[in-house]
């Protein structure tokens, strides 16, 4: 349990840091696209062992900060899922209400990155998110777990 708490604090802190970096990038957008390239190089020079600060990832941080300007939301809701999940949701889901729904369901059901992508793509084929109380994958797991308990 302590490991889970440590992991959650790390994910929450990293989401806040990425959001703050995105805010800085967005506030300096008038400097042009070269700003992000220079920032990525400067970070690499200052912190050679730091990972996750590529030009592409810095652009995602800027998009993340622009999409979720509410710091309270970043600290509570989006901090519950890993960065890669947030990036996938930013890329694949255009509607803000649907984004929030996917973030909450991912945290609630513990979806892996590939399961999240599958849920989003399955919903895009149907034209709406899978808004069942119990998504397909977790339903099957719950039914399996429930039937296992009764067989003991």
62-68-60 Cα angle (round to 5): 25
**Count of domains forming the chain:** 2
Q: Are 129 and 102 in contact (CB under 8 A)?
A: yes
SS3 40: helix
What's the whole-model pTM score? 0.65
pLDDT tens, 119-145? 999 887 665 555 544 444 445 444 444
Q: pLDDT of 10-69, one tens digit each?
A: 444 566 677 777 777 877 777 776 888 888 898 888 888 888 889 899 999 889 888 888
Based on the fold, state whether residues 112 and 52 are members of the same structural domain: no
Which domain, by its residues, includes 50? 1-80
CA-CA distances (angstroms) from residue 139 to 126, 134, 152? 19, 5, 21
DSSP state for residue 79 in the 8-state scheme? G
Q: Say if CB 78 and CB 68 are below 8 A apart.
A: yes
Q: Domain check: are 90 and 144 in the same one?
A: yes
Asked which of 53, 80, 107 is the last residue of a domain, the reply is: 80
- State which of 32, 64, 80 marks the end of a domain: 80
């Amino acid at each position: 349990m302590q490991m889970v708490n440590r992991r959650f604090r790390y994910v929450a802190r990293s989401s806040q840091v990425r959001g703050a970096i995105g805010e800085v990038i967005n506030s300096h957008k008038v400097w042009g696209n070269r700003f992000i390239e220079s920032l990525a190089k400067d970070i690499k020079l200052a912190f050679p062992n730091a990972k996750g600060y590529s030009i592409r990832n810095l652009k995602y941080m800027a998009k993340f900060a622009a999409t979720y300007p509410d710091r309270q939301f970043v600290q509570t809701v989006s901090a519950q899922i890993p960065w890669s999940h947030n990036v996938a949701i930013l890329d694949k889901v255009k509607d803000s209400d649907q984004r929030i729904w996917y973030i909450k369901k991912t945290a609630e059901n513990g979806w892996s990155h590939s399961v999240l992508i599958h849920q989003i793509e399955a919903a895009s084929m149907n034209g709406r998110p899978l808004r069942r109380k119990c998504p397909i994958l977790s339903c099957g797991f719950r039914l399996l777990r429930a039937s296992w308990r009764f067989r003991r």
